[in-house]
Structure 1
Amino acid sequence: CFYLARSYSLAGKRTEAYALYCRARSHAENALKDFQRMANSDQVCLYLSK
């Protein structure tokens, strides 16, 4: 999405580029939250198994 947004931006389609950038950022933030949530639950499982 970031590369596509850059292409749109270079083509002068700023509104479309911004929408794609926001979507890519949202996906990245959601993936990071999911990863952090999984990492935290893994730590709890490791702690309980000791």
Structure 2
Amino acid sequence: MSSINKIFLFLKNEEGVTAIEYALIAALVAVVIIATVTSMGTKVQGTFNAVDAALP
């Protein structure tokens, strides 16, 4: 097999591209989850502080 054929087959192979796409999607999902949990955590903490202040 010649070098040109090997290069062509390497460029045509899309398995690595799919793995990278899945990794990027997983990273994006992780960022969204972290942002959501952080935002909700701040709101929940504020609610607990308000309840704590209202109790005698």
Report percent identity of matched pairs: 13
- The one-letter code matched in structure 2 to 1:49 is V
Aligned length: 39
1:48 to partner: Cα distance: 1.2
Distance, in Å, in 1 between the alignment partners of 2:16 and 2:39 is 34
Could you tell me which runs of 5 or more consecutive residues in structure 1 were left unpaired when the two chains were aligned. Answer: 1-11
- The one-letter code matched in structure 1 to 2:23 is Y
- Structure 1 runs (4+) deviating above 2 angstroms are none
CA radius of gyration, larger in:
2
What residue number does 1:33 align with? 35
Over the aligned positions, Cα root-mean-square deviation in angstroms equals 1.3
Give TM-score, length-normalised by structure 1.
0.67
If asked which structure has higher relative contact order (CA below 8 Å, sep 6+), I would say 1
Could you tell me which runs of 5 or more consecutive residues in structure 2 were left unpaired when the two chains were aligned. Answer: 1-13
